[in-house]
Structure 1
Amino acid sequence: NCVPCGCAMVPTHTTKQDRRYRYYVCAKAQKRGWHACPSKSIPAGEIEKFVVDQVRGIGRDPAMIDEDEAIHALAAFDPVWETLTLREQARVLQLLIQRVDYDGDKGTVSVTFHPAGIETLSREYAKENA
């Protein structure tokens, strides 16, 4: 979500010389012009890396989660993440993340996690490793 105007940040891309550049753009700025919102756009790789790093941080910080299974599930995140398909990665992130907010005016990104997402991931991990 775009913090300054409250609109969605939507995925888009441009292609230059057979190379594809992915980014997220404020829907309001995209529809009404760049003057409509200070957030404009952010490279997709940059914000996606930040979000994945935030998920990794949960698994490394026992203070953020209190169930042993959840700690083990998120600690296993690093070795497993790169082996997942894009669809599986998207599912894990949708399970864990409620929203991502980008404030282009301040240059900040924040992630809000689903409270039950960690528990669900923990249960799935426990089933697979039982």
Structure 2
Amino acid sequence: MDIAVPESYFKTAIPKLTLITLVENSIFYGLTKKEVNHIIVSGKNTEIDSVLLEVSDTGPGIAPEKLALLTEDTGTPNPYKGLNKLGLRNVQERLIMTFGYPYGLHFHNEPDEGLTVTIRLPIGDLREK
């Protein structure tokens, strides 16, 4: 695992359990491949008003239909919320409830090549909000 986050991002507010959930998913699902799974947590400075953090792995990726189920917003309460494989959805909901739209998770999936999850956060500190 490699971590490459610029020091200027260290004071960026991020809800608890966000990174641990994404890294844990990369470990658990990425290890289903027989080869080595390389996990990278990185910060990107590409937007003026946002901080972008990425968690990527070299695992098998996720089937597009499963990814769609995890990320769709049905607008109705989910009776299974918090159970089995809903960590990504919970993280997404927590980010949007904390910061609003357009912040949250974005996915770049390459089946058999890995998954990259980008976390878009506002610049600043939660205490300022």
Normalised by the length of structure 2, the TM-score is: 0.27
Provide TM-score, normalisation by structure 1: 0.27
**Structure with greater helix share of residues:** 1
- Identify which of structures 1 and 2 has the higher relative contact order when contacts are C-alpha pairs closer than 8 Å and 6+ apart: 2
